Amino acid sequence: MKRFAWVGVLAGLLLAWEAWVDLRSVPDYLLPSPSGIASALWDERSTLLSQAAVTAREMLLGFALAVILGLGAAILLQRLPWLRSAVYPLLVASQSIPVVAIAPLLVIYLGFGLSPKALIVALVCFFPITANALDGFASAPAELRSTMRTLNATPRAIFWRVELPWASPRVFTGARIAASYAAVAALFAEYAGGSGGLADSMHDQLDTQLVGAAILLLALLALALFGLVTLLERVMIPWAREG
């Protein structure tokens, strides 16, 4: 029962929202009603679904790139301490650069295709994966490392056989955080470069029902990616969940 408590909360919020708009006669351009959004979603379903497919592709590709880059960077920084000292502070500082500001530049460099959008998603998403993986590597108990050294393990074996698997729950935590960023990142990318994605349905800010419908689909895409990562985690590292 507790598992589905969110359904009751969501239904209550939607009802309150609908009642507020109806009773106060709030105009659509200020706040669309849930029923208005649902109606826009139905009326424009064909366009919205094809736009959602484009956005989903950008999200998936960018996210996959972020996992490869993020985990690759973390492994490299863990294995090469001197590189970590030299690069990690810069990596942290780079997170303060607003992606909105550099997105148009990437479009100029790489054109209007899928590549710049996937790259923008990857830029937004990779850091939580890298940071969590590095924390995960460091979380392997010192006593385990010492014991492994006496059990014939080289530093390389300790990394691949202990530290990397040990870090995998943290890597998935980072991936889940990254998954929740991917939808908004894809939208930034589409605003910068146009694509036929869901951003196209958000250009007319006064058509709030259509904007609401596009936001709803974007949220569903984010949830789906989040769910996919959670599912992969359960399949790939069942031991982490079972304790």
Q: Which residues bind other proteins (CB under 8 A)?
A: 141, 143-144, 146-154, 157, 161-162, 165, 237, 239-240, 242-243
Helix %, strand %, coil % for the chain, to 5?
85, 0, 15
Rank residues 99 and 148 by Cβ distance to other proteins and give the closer one.
148
CB of 144 to other proteins, least distance (A): 5
Rank residues 109 and 160 by Cβ distance to other proteins and give the closer one.
160
Q: How many CA atoms lie within 13 A of 210 on its CB side?
A: 18
Rank residues 24 and 161 by Cβ distance to other proteins and give the closer one.
161
Rank residues 168 and 230 by Cβ distance to other proteins and give the closer one.
168
CB of 168 to other proteins, least distance (A): 8
CB of 143 to other proteins, least distance (A): 5
CB of 151 to other proteins, least distance (A): 4
Instruction: Using CA atoms of 240, 181, 65, 61 in order, give the dihedral in degrees to the nearest 10.
Output: 110
Query: Do the Cβ atoms of 103 and 192 come closer than 8 Å?
Result: yes
The DSSP annotation for 162-222 comes to IIHHHHHHHHHHHHHHHHHHHHHHHHHHHHHH--SSGGGGGS-TT-HHHHHHHHHHHHHHH
CB of 153 to other proteins, least distance (A): 4
Rank residues 81 and 238 by Cβ distance to other proteins and give the closer one.
238
